[in-house]
Structure 1
Amino acid sequence: MNKLKSLLILSVIITVLSACGNADETDTSNSEVASTDEVWEEVQEAGEIVVGTAGTLFPASFYDGEEGNQNHLTGYDVEVAREIGDRLDLEVNFEIMNFDAMLSAVDTGRVDVILAGPREGSEDSFGFSEPVKYSYSTMVVRSDDHSGIETLEDLEGKDAGGAATTVYSDIARKFNAEVVTYGNAPNEAYLRDVHNGRTDLVINDYYLQRLGISEFPDLDIELHPDLKFHPTTNNVVMDKEADVFMENVNEAINDMKEDGTLSELSGEFFHGDDVSQEPEEDIIEIEGIE
């Protein structure tokens, strides 16, 4: 993996957003059911799906070449979105934004969807597709003493690097850690701060943390060997009323699972791991965190 990719690794931000939509009836090209889905109508009329994404998150969404050029934007989430667009006969265009701005971007109609996971209460307001990725959370700690953490309760009083609105920061706060927030920074900043003692840990997605650590062998950090918690999924997220749009997206995702496309994309971006399959590990559920 080259240095460019190393600098682009960024902690995953699990957030949700939706596209604006109201009810109206029309026929669709991908369903025999009459549409009451204004979002789907608008997407078809535009001939494109606009996807909100960070563009700095290896291996989910990053530039493998000229930054700002969508031809060089790639990653698991990006290629999954493009494949869904192909199967729905729609173009896919990406809007690059800070993760903390994504929800408001959908509220204003700036984007149609993102790939993200459910948060507490979010399923009451937003629609979530079939999962395209399964994972769980873990934490990066210092190698010599695990940053003094052997149980989740040991997070009390620790400094956890993260973003303000992520589920990972919610977990840190639940166990009374202090969250040290970052902007749209590369993962090296998060990891180096654990190494040098500015922070004690970073909670994030298992697969991305593992890839991130492998790029910085000089740092005295590791994944905590015993703590695996908070199972997660990554889904296509859209307006809750976008029933026809969701039906068509789910059909595309199920086809991608059956024909092996999701497994192939996963292997390409996650070093051979198949994130489209549920993990078999015994994972701690955290009460009150969704």
Structure 2
Amino acid sequence: MRLKRFTLFFVLLLVLGACGETSSQNQNSDEKGSGKWAEIKENGELVVGTPGTLYPTSYYPEGSDELTGYDVEVIKEIAKRLDIDVKFEILGFDAMLASLKSGRIDVAQAGLREASKKKFAFSDPYKYSYSTMIVRKDEVADFKALADLDGKKAGGAATTVYSDIARKFGAEVKTYGNVTNDVYLKDVDNGRTDVIINDYYLQSLALEAFPDLDITIHPDLKFYPTTQNVVMDKDADLLKEKINEVLAGMREDGTLTELSGKFFGGKDVSKKPDEDIIEIEGIE
């Protein structure tokens, strides 16, 4: 009888120990997933990396020291609905994800790439687009396909998907720091570079701002569909959940459409474009 009692007591200890271990593991997992959100709430602000030089998504209007743009206003509205302040850190794209990894910023805004998915978490998209190329008007016919990038000079940042596309098809990439759109555009116009590969909506508006430049968007080459997302720590599960909830609300109540119309000439970038877009294999 005493042996049976001892055996039962021992089994109960094992069961309770296993439950305690599982509970501890779940608690650690919960703390890990909610830690970034708890930190942000405690600090009372969301620190966001943004270039500040990219019209119309993140820029300073002429004569103003107040940052604005589609990305900027989307993140401001997210912070407002989460009842926290927002602080912007001006960073070049090449420094953005490194700053996120080091903890200098809480979130960034960038497109979804497979390599980055292994290191960071991404919100649902709040912008859909695709890639195009700006070339000199008298050289449109020289670019019948992406393969015609071979031997050309393409302007871009070092680590963007657009530069990866240019390199994939044989172009030499002339890299820039965190410069404004006009620097890229003028270099195509004056012959220092031959092409800029970038987002369709951004390129369209950039051209409108500089009508005197002898450059244009290629009318036929539309390729590599893209999105813009809020990027955060890989383990920031609760923060991602909250941001996605807010974005869903902004989509449903028309806020994303309204902000898009304001910054993209009435176009709604919050919806997938209805275009025949060329997919590119081997670009993450």
TM-score (normalizing by structure 2): 0.87
Q: Residue by residue, what CA displacement relative to the aligned partner does 1:33-69 show, whole Å, maximum 9, x if unpaired?
A: 98742111101111111000011111101112566x4
Q: CA deviation at 1:25?
A: 4.9
Which residue identity does 1:62 align to in structure 2? Answer: Y
Task: From 223, 226, 230, give the equivalent of 2:224.
Answer: 230
Give the greater-gyration-radius structure (CA): 2
Q: Residue by residue, what CA displacement relative to the aligned partner does 1:157-178 show, whole Å, maximum 9, x if unpaired?
A: 1100111111100000000100
Over 3 Å counting, the alpha-carbon distance change for 1:254 and 1:35 in structure 2 is farther
Over 3 Å counting, the alpha-carbon distance change for 1:147 and 1:158 in structure 2 is farther
Within a 5 Å distance, the mapping from 1:40-189 to structure 2 comes to: 40-64=37-61, 69=65, 72-146=66-140, 148-189=142-183
Which residue identity does 1:101 align to in structure 2? Answer: A
For 2:129 and 2:194, locate their aligned partners in 1 and report how far apart those are by CA, in whole Å: 23
Does 2:249 align with 1:255?
yes
Which residue identity does 1:267 align to in structure 2? Answer: G
Identical columns (%): 61
When structure 1 is superposed on structure 2, of 230-239 and 146-155 the one drifting more is 146-155
Over 3 Å counting, the alpha-carbon distance change for 1:76 and 1:177 in structure 2 is same
3-state DSSP of counterpart to 1:230:
strand
Over 3 Å counting, the alpha-carbon distance change for 1:63 and 1:203 in structure 2 is same
**Contact 1:120/1:289, CA 8 A, preserved across alignment:** no
Over 3 Å counting, the alpha-carbon distance change for 1:66 and 1:42 in structure 2 is farther
For 1:244 and 1:172, locate their aligned partners in 2 and report how far apart those are by CA, in whole Å: 37
**Contact 1:135/1:279, CA 8 A, preserved across alignment:** yes
For 1:25 and 1:38, locate their aligned partners in 2 and report how far apart those are by CA, in whole Å: 11
CA RMSD of aligned residues (A): 1.8
Aligned length: 259
**Contact 1:25/1:36, CA 8 A, preserved across alignment:** no
Q: Which has the higher helix share?
A: 2
Q: CA deviation at 1:220?
A: 1.1
Instruction: List alignment gaps of at least 5 residues for structure 1.
Output: 1-22, 27-32
Q: CA deviation at 1:136?
A: 0.3
Instruction: List alignment gaps of at least 5 residues for structure 2.
Output: 1-24
3-state DSSP of counterpart to 1:233:
strand
Moved >3 Å (runs of 4+): 23-26, 33-36
